[in-house]
Amino acid sequence: MQSRSAAGALPAFITVTCLFFAWGFITSNNDPLIAALRGIYSLSRAEAMLTQFAFFLAYGVFSLPAAAVLGRLGPSKTIMASLGVMILGCFIVLAASAAQTYALVLVALFTLAAGITALQVAANPLAAALGVPEKSHFRLTLAQAFNSLGVVLGVHLGSSLMLSGDVFKDGGATITDEASRIAGLGAVNHAFLIIAAFLLALGLLIFVMRHRIENAVPHNGGTGAAGENASPLTALRSGWALAGALAIFLYVGSEVSIGSIMINFLNQPEVLGVSLLVAGGMLANYYWGGALIGRFLGSGLLAVFPAPILLSVMVAVAGLLSLAAFTLSGPAAAWCALSIGLFNSIMFPTIFTLTLQRSSAPASATSGLLCVAIVGGAILPFIAGKIADVTGGFGHAFIVPVIGYAGILVFALAAARVKGAEHATVALPSGH
């Protein structure tokens, strides 16, 4: 089993890394989509944030069921089913545009995210497992680096398709005539047709590579000896699984809040006053681009420095930058906000692997609970939008990530005091 796993680990890991790229590419389109839909449907700040609420709510609803599916089917079948659900979500976007109904857009995003939820439940522990246990931090951070690459390219694509041309030619956030509204919806359709084609190609790749993936990852052979086919609710009995879930909740909520408000934040005259298209490019290049660079650099740093210590430093700096964006104005506030992405870079994979190493629950159950916590991306951005509506500006919404990073810092410092099972194999269930 060990020699077979070692021989197939690299091609399997490369294939799985493509999944990280895919969901980063897709999820990041929410940021320009928020700005576009706000103009198309004349939405308030909080109403526009319902796109993120609908999307990330799926993590809270489907993560534990997805963990059960993973335990039943194994990673390859779970991944292929997830991609099929995501393609369905893309086509519901087209139906929503035809009906010109914002509510149906939210249904489409919820469906799309349901597939991404199951994809993450399967892929995160899979990336950690495909190789020697002591390098799990490195592998998951490296895979997340390609997730960030997908985010950068996705924001560029989404911004160029949804926020360019004559639709937002005045540089503002409002569409006033029916022709422009139809043109805006057409641009949204174009973006999601590209995503659907990409997902279909990825599904074919996974189908071809399915046996290599199953053979490369350590698993219990369906015997249940390691407890991997236990209920995903077993993670609720692990204190570290619960602590890691809270940290993931705060991290994803903080990261998504910043990305969701950034385009409109930079568009404000008292910050930079740039057009939505230019702001979208800055979001991609600096905020998400910083996360991309940070994850490649972080992969190396995690081979040198203890993961909890490095996490503590990065979280502390991100919190200070968020506080600066909250208190300052003009270019200083803009660049502080954009710089946060660099320090966000290692947070998700490091929190994830630190939790897997310390959790007493099976990996599939722990992964399911951690993915439930991604629902923070639904709740905290909506709170940020409400704050922006009440205060009349997006800068005050940065208080949400300030509080979020403070909570993550507590987790990081606690993890530094408790040694995890650094050399324990992350086992996944095989399919039945």
Closest CA to 326 of 246, 244, 249, 406: 406
Which is more confident, 337 or 41?
337
**pLDDT (tens digit, 9 = 90+) per residue, 82-97?**
999 999 999 999 999 8
Spatial distance between the Cα atoms of 38 and 60, rounded to a whole number of angstroms:
25
Asked whether the predicted pLDDT for residue 170 surpasses 80, the reply is no
Q: What is the DSSP string of 51-71?
A: HHHHHHHHHHHHHHHHHHHHH
Q: How far is CA 299 from the centre of its chain?
A: 18
Helices 399-417, 307-327: inter-axial angle, 10-degree rounding:
160
pLDDT averaged over the chain?
84
Local confidence band at 168 (pLDDT 50, 70, 90 cut-offs):
low
What percentage of the chain reaches a pLDDT higher than 90? 37
Which residue in the block uniquely carries the two structure tokens 């650094």?
A: 422
Residue 200 neighbours by CB under 8 Å, 6+ apart: 83, 87
CB 81 within 8 A of CB 69: yes
Of residues 420 and 62, the one with the higher pLDDT is: 62
* DSSP one-letter code for 98: H
End-to-end CA distance of the chain: 18
For 271, the token pair is 């910050």
Residue type, position 47, single letter: E
Other C-beta atoms lying within 10 Å of the C-beta of residue 162: 30
Beta-bridged to residue 428, according to DSSP, are 219
Instruction: Return the minimum-mean-pLDDT range out of 294-303, 402-411, 418-427.
Output: 418-427
Mean pLDDT of 188-207: 92
- At residue 227, the pLDDT reads 44
Q: How confident is the model at residue 7 (pLDDT cuts 50, 70, 90)?
A: low
A 10 A CB-CB count for 303 gives 12
